[in-house]
């Protein structure tokens, strides 16, 4: 016959082991679900961040492309031509005789006003030619200005375009950096950790020891 205490201890030890196994299974199951949740969270956050980054990048790229298109040679040549026209109109005096022959009397010196028509015509021809020459030089001046420093000259235009797109790119870059910082915090989130805390485990071990001693004494 076996010692009844040992039998009870053995039964207790078996029960305790079964309980421990059950607790372990439960913890593993919970940990697995927590891990799956974490993966799902990280995947979702990663996709959201990627979408945000991509949208911001596309907005910056659109600003960049817009500037680049306006800086294409054909666009710059067209802009230069328009600016040249504008500057020419703006800086050419309005009283040049080649365009306004009616202003001859205003141009004549006081003593010339009573001169014969032949002399007046000769003077008019000379002033008209001088006006034409001046007009040609003014047109050249307008051309020079339209390449460089006039209001909408190529140089100022390019600078303005780069300023605009740089502002947009910087804004989007700032948004991206901020968002990336927040995402890094999200990436640092760790899954819940479950730990098996079997209070009966120690008792089971003690019972198993008693049962072992009882059965060992009979042998």
Partner 1 sequence: MGGKSKPSNNEMVEFEKQQAAEARQKEAERQARLEQGKSSIDAIFAGGGFDQPFYDKYKNAALGYQLPQLQDQYTKQKEQTTFDLARAGLLRSTAAGQAQADIESQKAAQEAAIRAGADQQVADLRKNVSGQQSAALSQLYATEDPNVAANTAIQSVQQAQLSTPNLQPLGELFKPLVIGGIAAGGGAYNQNVANTLYPKRPNYGGSYSDVA
Q: Is 182 in the site for partner 1 (CB under 8 A)?
A: no
Which residue, 76 or 198, has its beta carbon nearer to partner 1? 76
Instruction: Convert residues 85-124 into a mask of x (bound to partner 1 by CB under 8 A) and - (unbound).
Output: ----------------------------------------
Residue among 208, 213, 216 nearest 10 (CA): 208
Least Cβ distance, residue 198 to partner 1 (angstroms): 21
Please give the full DSSP string across 125-180, using - where no structure is assigned: HHHHHHHHHHHHHHHHHHHHHHHTTSTT-HHHHHHHHHHHHHHHHHHHHHHHHHHH
Using CB under 8 A, pick the residue from 73, 111, 114, 117 that binds partner 1.
Answer: 73
Q: Which residue number, 78 or 125, has a Cβ lying nearer to partner 1?
A: 78
Is residue 39 within the footprint of partner 1 (CB under 8 A)? yes
Strands (E) across the chain are located at none
Among 2, 18, 144, 182, binds partner 1 (CB under 8 A): 144
**Rounded-to-integer distance, Cα 150 and Cα 204, Å:** 94
């Amino acid at each position: 016959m076996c010692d009844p205490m040992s039998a009870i201890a053995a039964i207790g030890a078996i029960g305790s082991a079964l309980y421990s196994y059950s607790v372990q299974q439960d913890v593993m199951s919970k940990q697995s679900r927590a891990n799956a949740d974490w993966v799902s969270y990280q995947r979702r956050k990663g996709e959201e961040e990627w979408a945000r980054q991509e949208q911001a990048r596309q907005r910056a790229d659109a600003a960049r492309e817009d500037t680049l298109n306006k800086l294409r040679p054909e666009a710059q040549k067209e802009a230069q031509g328009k600016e040249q026209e504008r500057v020419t109109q703006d800086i050419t005096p309005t009283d040049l005789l080649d365009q306004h022959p009616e202003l001859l009397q205003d141009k004549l010196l006081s003593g010339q006003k009573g001169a014969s028509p032949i002399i007046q015509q000769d003077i008019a021809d000379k002033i008209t030619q001088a006006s034409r020459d001046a007009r040609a030089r003014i047109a050249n001046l307008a051309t020079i200005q339209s390449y460089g420093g006039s209001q909408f000259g190529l140089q100022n235009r390019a600078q303005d375009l780069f300023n605009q797109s740089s502002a947009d790119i910087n804004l989007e870059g700032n948004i991206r950096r901020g968002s990336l910082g927040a995402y890094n915090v999200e990436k640092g989130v760790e899954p819940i950790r479950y730990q098996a805390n079997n209070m009966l485990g120690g008792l089971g071990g003690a019972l198993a020891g008693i049962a072992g001693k009882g059965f060992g004494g009979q042998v």
